[in-house]
Structures are given as structure tokens and as C-alpha cells.
A and B are shown apart, each in its own frame.
Chain A
Amino acid sequence: MRIAFATEENRGLNSVVSSRFGRARYFIIVDYEGGEVKSYRVEVNPGSEARSGAGIKAVQKLINEGVNVAVAGSFGPNAMTALGEMGIRHVGMSGITVEEALNRLKNQL
């Protein structure tokens, strides 16, 4: 299971989940298996630099990274549609660290 957390900071699993998806600065992409973090990496979200169409660029990034679940506070109309079409689950959560979010998520995965 590969989960992408939208964040504004690059502090690994201690980064706080952003209130927004498409224009978040980073994605912390976590490989999560059997209730454990196997590995994670930090990727710059190309949507954060986009003048428009940020949501689509962000989803394209997650598709390329093979992500199964996206976590952020809110998702824009284009992002939501694209995630839905690609079968990437979206989970609304923000203001807590990636680690805390993983703890809350683990029973639902």
C-alpha cells in the first residue's frame, strides 16, 4: 500500500498534513505494509508551482508514483475527479503529523 500525504514541510513523518491537496508543497509518499512503515520518500508536488491546473498535475504525479491513497485536508474539483477516475482513494485529514495520520488510518486500510 502506497500512501501520499500532502504537506507544506519536508520533515519526513513529522511533517504536518496540509489543508489542501493540489497546491501542497510536498508529498510524503509512504510504503505501508502490515501496519508498518517500510520506507518513505519526499517528492515535490508539481501542482504547487502550477499557475493553474494544480490538482491535475498533483494527481498525475501520484499516478506516476503508483500511489493508492491520497491524504490532505481538502481536494479541489479537478483533483477529486481525477483521483476518482484513477481509483486512488482520497482521505480528508489535516493539521496532524503524517505519523499521527497513519495511526488514525491504519484501521481503515
Chain B
Amino acid sequence: MLEMAIASGKGGVGKSTVSAIIAITLARRRKVIVVDADADAPNMHLILGLGEEWEWEQPYSESMVARIVTEKCIKCGECRAVCPYKAIYVDEEGNYVVNPVICEGCETCSLVCPVKGAIVREETLSGMLRMTRTRYGFPLISARLEPGRPNSGKLVTEEKTKAKEMADDDTVIVVDSAAGIGCQVVSSLAGANMAILVAEPTPASFNALKRVHKLTKHFMQPAAVVINKWDMNPDIAAEIEVYARENNLDMLGKVPFDDSIPKSMAMMVPVTEAFPDSPASKALLEVARRVEAILDEWSSWFMRFRPKKPEPYRPIIIKPEGF
């Protein structure tokens, strides 16, 4: 089993498009599973031309919110007065009610409530985990969060665990990470054997690339770079290439700006199918072939591009509890 994570730091630079084309290409010769690890804005199913039909969907809950037990509530209003999030309101019948969307589960209300058991803490629906099979022969594992529910490394871990349950020894798991370098991205990269970093030639994306590269160095992961829309700003694209060379990142390819990509997304057909002869399709397929070549020569590639030393870290001090 080999796990590759596609990350970029900055959003909207083409992670999902690159992931999709890599997965479709690899799936011709290998067993592939794709994980869409961006539960805030899941889009892999849309890029792959799938609707909202899932083979299975299961509720996912991890947030705790307060609920007021109406029968026990004496309507003193203490909870409403102290709630830092103003999540408690009085409904038309005069009952105190917690709005679960606003509640953060901080328990301030239950601390001040004079009646035992009138405010309980319970799990609320965070979102859905789901799986479907694509017509490219690989399954897609995805998640969807309810509005306002926080994304988390735990949810990404659940998705990756589902993928591993379905995987064989020779399966390639492609994890399309969310933007940023936070908890969910750490979770997307953790345990991955390699990373593919996507950047576009803008100062914002270049900066984000360096930040996410710190994470892959931390994990001692070999990483490769794809520059998307490189011809929008050839100067910065060249700077990114220099950065990649100087930092031992494998340069997988440069994809030109090409309106066949947004057009294909509107059509919900992967660009390599909708416009196979477009410059972007050709460049993306070349990137995917390079990834195939990496897998074919895995050990030598791994040895060559593995970071020589891990990213230095800043100190965190934890003391034993109870001391």
C-alpha cells in the first residue's frame, strides 16, 4: 500500500484537478482509492462527474453541544445570561432552547444551571462520511460537513481508515488534502509515503508552498512539485522551479493556463476526457505519467528525494499531570 497526499497550502490552485488526473491515469494499471480530505468543500465527486449518489453514507458526529431538558428546566434564565456564544434563546412557548449550530459545547450553561440534569451534553451531527465507485474503476471516499461544524484531523483520519480497510498491499491511496497547513492537512500528510505539492505562480501560492513544504520535511516525506497555470507569470514560475531544485523537490511538470480546465469543470468531465488535445490535458497527463514512473522506481526515487534532515521544531513544554 502506498499513500500519496496532494497539498498546496493555498486553496484553488488545482489540487483536486491534479489529484483526479493522477488517479484516473494510475487506475489503468493499479488499484487506486481516492480520498477527498476537504470536508468543508468536497469537490472531487463533482470533478469526476459524479452526482450526489453514494453507495453508502454514514453520519459522522464528534462535536458536543448542550441540550436543555424542557421537563426539568425551571426557566430561570441563568444559562441564557452566561452563554458566551448567545446560543440559548426562548422559543414561542417560553421554553429555553439551545441552538446547536451556534453552541460550541463549552459547558458554561451547565455550570450555572441550578437544576441537576436540566442541561445535558450530547453529540451533534457534524457531517456525513460517504463512498461511491467511479467509472474509472476506483472508489472515492469523501466527507461532507454540516455548515458551521469544524473540520478536523479526526475526520480525515476516519476517511483514511475507511480507505485502508478497502485497500490491498498494492493499492495506491491518493489523498486530496484541504487547503492550509492546519490539523486536517497534518492529518492528510501523516502516514503518507510521498507528497505532491501544487502551486501557481503567484506570491501567495509560492509562500503557501514553502509553508506546506515545511510539513512534508517534518514528516521526512519525499515531495514533488506541479506548477499550475505557469505561463500566467513565468518569472515566479521560474522562482518556484529554482526553489524546488535547491530544496530537493522533484519537479513533475508545469501546466499552462488553459480555459479547457474551467470548461471541463463546468461540464463535470475530467479535462483529459473533455478536451484531450488541450495543452493543459497534455501537461497533466505528462505529470500523471511522471507519477507512474515514480511508483515504478519507488525505492530509488524515495532515497533521492527524501529530506536529508527533518524540519527543526519550536519547543512545546508539557508537564506530567498532577505535578
A binds B: yes
With contacts A52-B153, A77-B186 known, is A20 near B191, CB below 8 A?
Answer: yes
- A19 engages B314 (CB within 8 Å): no
CA distance A77 to B257 in the complex (A): 35
- A22 engages B318 (CB within 8 Å): no
**Cβ–Cβ < 8 Å partners of A35 in chain B:** none
Q: Does B187 contact A (CB under 8 A)?
A: yes
- A60 engages B318 (CB within 8 Å): yes
- A60 engages B62 (CB within 8 Å): no
Report A57-90 residues with CB < 8 Å from chain B CB: 59-60, 63-64, 73-74, 76-78, 80-82, 84-86
Q: Does B157 contact A (CB under 8 A)?
A: yes
Q: Does B99 contact A (CB under 8 A)?
A: no
With contacts A77-B186, A80-B313 known, is A59 near B318, CB below 8 A?
Answer: yes
A1-43 vs B, CB cutoff 8 Å, 1 = contact: the mask equals 0000000100000000001101100000000000000000000
B137-164 vs A, CB cutoff 8 Å, 1 = contact: the mask equals 0000000000000101110010001000
CA distance A73 to B219 in the complex (A): 10
**Cβ–Cβ < 8 Å partners of A19 in chain B:** 3, 190-191
Interface size class of A (residues with CB under 8 A): 20 to 34
- A49 engages B315 (CB within 8 Å): no
**Cβ–Cβ < 8 Å partners of B154 in chain A:** 23, 48-52, 54
- A77 engages B318 (CB within 8 Å): no
- B321 engages A60 (CB within 8 Å): yes
Q: Does A56 contact B (CB under 8 A)?
A: yes
Q: Does B317 contact A (CB under 8 A)?
A: yes
CA distance A63 to B56 in the complex (A): 40
- A82 engages B318 (CB within 8 Å): yes
Q: Does B183 contact A (CB under 8 A)?
A: yes
**Cβ–Cβ < 8 Å partners of B166 in chain A:** none
CA distance A84 to B317 in the complex (A): 9
Please count the residue pairs between chain A and chain B whose beta carbons lie under 8 angstroms apart in the complex.
78
- A73 engages B318 (CB within 8 Å): no
Report B111-152 residues with CB < 8 Å from chain A CB: 150, 152
- A74 engages B313 (CB within 8 Å): no
- A22 engages B320 (CB within 8 Å): no
Q: Does B303 contact A (CB under 8 A)?
A: no
- A51 engages B316 (CB within 8 Å): no
- A51 engages B318 (CB within 8 Å): no
**Cβ–Cβ < 8 Å partners of B317 in chain A:** 82, 85
Q: Does B31 contact A (CB under 8 A)?
A: no
- Which residue of chain A is the closest to B158 with respect to CB atoms? A23
Q: Does B215 contact A (CB under 8 A)?
A: yes
- A51 engages B320 (CB within 8 Å): no
Q: How far is the CB of A75 from chain B (nearest CB, A)?
A: 8
- B321 engages A64 (CB within 8 Å): yes
With contacts A20-B190, A76-B186, A77-B218 known, is A54 near B315, CB below 8 A?
Answer: no
**Cβ–Cβ < 8 Å partners of B191 in chain A:** 19-20, 73-74
- B190 engages A52 (CB within 8 Å): no
- B152 engages A51 (CB within 8 Å): yes
With contacts A23-B153, A77-B186 known, is A84 near B313, CB below 8 A?
Answer: yes
With contacts A49-B154, A51-B154 known, is A74 near B320, CB below 8 A?
Answer: no
- B320 engages A64 (CB within 8 Å): yes
- B316 engages A78 (CB within 8 Å): yes
Q: How far is the CB of B321 from chain A (nearest CB, A)?
A: 6
**Cβ–Cβ < 8 Å partners of A85 in chain B:** 315-318
With contacts A51-B62, A81-B315, A85-B315 known, is A23 near B320, CB below 8 A?
Answer: no
**Cβ–Cβ < 8 Å partners of B310 in chain A:** 80
Q: How far is the CB of B296 from chain A (nearest CB, A)?
A: 21
Which B residues are closer than 8 A to A by beta carbons? 3, 62-63, 150, 152-154, 157, 161, 183, 186-187, 190-191, 215, 218-220, 310-311, 313-321
Q: A54-B183, A60-B318, A63-B318 are in contact. List 6 more A-B contacts (CB 8 A).
A: A20-B190, A52-B154, A63-B320, A76-B186, A78-B316, A80-B310
Q: Could you name 8 residue pairs across A and B whose Cβ atoms are closer than 8 Å? A: A20-B191, A23-B153, A23-B154, A23-B190, A48-B157, A73-B191, A81-B313, A85-B317
